[in-house]
Amino acid sequence: MNYTEIKNAALAYADKATHTETSDSMDDFLRVVEARVNRHLKTNDMSKQATLTSLDGKYYYGLPDDFNGLRGDPQVPGANNTIQTFRFMTPEQMNNINHLSNVSEHYYTIIADQFRIFPDLDAEVITITYYQRIVALDGTNTSNWLSTDNPDVYIFGCLVEIASFNKDAVAREIWDARFKEALNEVSIHDQMIRWSSNTMQTRPG
């Protein structure tokens, strides 16, 4: 379903299609729903890769604008065509080693919206695999992976906000339970796809 279809479906479910104040607030409701989705979901559909080129003497790098958490540790090319993986440290741990001059491994941490490494690297391509925030639905971006594959998440989430806006506590409780159930089902489905061991096998004979 797309942007318009989701808004219309939610208004129809709530019987608020002709309620101007509610319909005029739907874009605000969508932003709240997407904020909740970004906090709760970390799925393969939200995975993305980015690269950055390090500079000698530079330790801090900006994270992607749509960054919503790392999926794995960053990597950098090593010797003899190998890949070396950064090791995570807390900011406090990083402060305790940043005075060292002889470090054999690469370390990283996240501070606010920045990616910090130690030691510094000269002209190396660092690969970051991360979870991206969902692309917000609006009149220009009319669909995304969630609206296409799981429109019920959007509809139930919007119904929570419609009920809250209209001060209907009973309806809000009902739709919030449906919204959380849908989010959980998306997570379970993603895990089944990613980790299923039921691979196809060819038997001899």
pLDDT tens per residue across span 9-47: 999 999 999 999 999 999 999 999 999 999 999 999 999
- pLDDT reported for residue 7: 98
Question: 96, 113, 132: which is the final residue of a domain?
Answer: 132
Do 37 and 55 have their domain in common?
no
Question: Please, what is the average pLDDT of the chain?
Answer: 92
Do 172 and 156 have their domain in common?
yes
- pLDDT reported for residue 205: 42
Q: Report the number of distinct structural domains present in the chain.
A: 2
User: Is residue 205 in a domain?
Assistant: no
Cβ burial of 6 (10 Å; 0-12, 13-18, 19+) is buried
Asked if 4 contacts 133 with a C-beta cutoff of 8 angstroms, the reply is: no
What is the C-alpha separation between 126 and 86, in angstroms, rounded? 10
47-53 and 125-132: which strand pairing?
antiparallel
Q: Which domain holds residue 91?
A: 47-132
Do 59 and 116 have their domain in common?
yes
100-120 pLDDT, tens digit per residue, is: 666 778 999 999 889 999 999
125 to 107, 128, 192: CA distances (angstroms): 15, 10, 33
Question: 132, 151, 173: which is the final residue of a domain?
Answer: 132
pLDDT band at 204 (very low <50, low <70, confident <90, very high): very low
- pLDDT reported for residue 199: 52
pLDDT band at 99 (very low <50, low <70, confident <90, very high): low
Question: DSSP letter at 126?
Answer: E
> Can you state the angle between helices 26-40 and 169-195, rounded to 10 degrees?
40
